[in-house]
Amino acid sequence: MSLQPTQASLGELAQALANKTISSVELTSLFLERCERLNPQLNAFITLDREKTLAQARSADARLAAGESGPLLGIPLAYKDIFCMRGWLTTCGSKMLANFVAPYDATVIEKFNTAGSVCLGKTNMDEFAMGSSNETSYYGAVKNPWDTTAVPGGSSGGSAAAVAARLAPAATGTDTGGSIRQPAALTNLTGLKPSYGRVSRYGMIAFASSLDQGGPMARTAEDAALLLNVMAGFDARDSTSVEAPVPDYTQTLNGDIKGLRIGLPKEYFSEGLTKDVAQAVEAAIGEYKKLGAQVVEVSLPNSQLAIPCYYVLAPAEASSNLSRFDGVRYGYRAPEYTDLLDMYCKTRAQGFGPEVKRRIMIGTYALSAGYYDAYYLKALKLRRLIAQDFQAAFEKCDVIMGPTSPSTAFKIGAKSDDPVAMYLSDIYTISVNLAGLPGMSIPAGFDPAGLPVGLQLIGKYFDEPRLLNVAHRYQQVTDWHHRTPKGFE
């Protein structure tokens, strides 16, 4: 068989399935075997269930045999373990949910099931999506396939490592402050955070409800477009879901980008950005110029305040969202306690990890009487200013570009004792979530140590078609996205 499934695009896999060159069971078995063999090196998956996965593949084969077709029918995908999936363990990377089997499907999972996708497994993640390195998971750190002593980024690090190491053709992730884009940058993937409200959050375990957004993680912009076609759309069960028509994101991929105005924020190319990342990003901008794009300087004056703003708002929302984990209805319960209050205290003390506790405490403090105006209200005002900065910048340009992460992947444990240093690794991504804009990261080269660099693209509200088009045109003239980590070919 000429098709090499681990290196094939989603389109090529769909074609092979339609032509009966390979069955969904054969394709899924091949990826399952890779997962079972290689996952111990990476810790990318929390749950693999061969029986359930192959049952879905057999069902997809039956649909194909009946003459059904679809771009994702029969294709195995990995899902971040933050999406509830009926009958599957759904842990959110936490001891608190280590025994929780979801009784229903998240809307995103429902949509993929309808499309006929097969669930390969649930991927590892920072606990309750709180982290930038995938080291806060109750199930242990995920390792970066490009260097297994380095982090893959977080919180969608398991999904990133799985796709980068070709354990899965593509995966879902979620992005609250950069959790799709930053791991995509650190593992040489294409990751897209859609506009807030574009993808339903129903059944996606909440961290910070006004910031969380699900999105695709794949090797190419074309694959990301196919995934977003399934994921996007209005959902009446999610009050933050936006009722707007969903275009076919693959239709505009090949549009001409001659005359495209690229905004480069001066604040993204200042202190804190490593030389290797800066050089790769500048080289990528050079490629866009060759494609006929023009560059304009823009300013995002409040972007330096995005980190303090985010680390007031996100923990405040987390402290509220995570109050439901009390040992009463579901999840972990402390084995010994004297009364109800003691059960609450011990359950939460034993069930949550240090980073989650830190954020709950920060959030509860910021929302408490006497501090609400000083912190939370100020952060809300600053959030509005950050959104206005983007609106002003987009009057001069069509898309904003810059680095996704200030450095390439750092060593596991390098920032564990310094939360602020860890928080700063999201400096270029967080403001996009605060403004609710779409953003994506695409492969843009490697540093001298062979670690990937990501280029970030930021678009106007619901301008995902343009972002995918701009990313796709770059990928047509570069081959960074085809590179595979050594040992995982």
Q: Which of 157, 169, 9, 191 is nearest to 80 (CA)?
A: 157
Helix (H, G, I), strand (E, B) or coil at 81: coil
Spot the catalytic one: 23, 24, 80, 441. Answer: 80
Q: What is the DSSP code string of 11-69?
A: HHHHHHHHTTSS-HHHHHHHHHHHHHHHHHHH--EEE--HHHHHHHHHHHHHHHHTT--
Query: Exposed e or buried b for every residue in 40-78, given b needs 16+ CB within 10 A?
Result: eebbbbbbbbeebbbebbeebbeebeeeeebbbbbbbbb
Helix (H, G, I), strand (E, B) or coil at 353: coil
Three-class secondary structure of residue 188 per DSSP: coil
One of 137, 159, 179, 303 is an active-site residue; which one?
179
> Which is catalytic among the residues 23, 94, 132, 155?
155
Q: Which of 134, 135, 126, 142 is nearest to 93 (CA)?
A: 126
CA distance linking residue 310 with residue 100, whole number of Å: 29
Q: Return the bridge partners of 76, or none.
A: 118
Q: Which residue has the tokens 């989603």?
A: 10
Whether 80 is catalytic is yes
Active site annotation includes 179: yes
Element (H, E) at 457: strand 452-458
Whether 460 is a known active-site residue: answer no
* Short-list 210, 209, 144, 218, CA closest to 180: 218
d(CA 157, CA 140): 12
* Residues carrying an active site annotation: 80, 155, 179
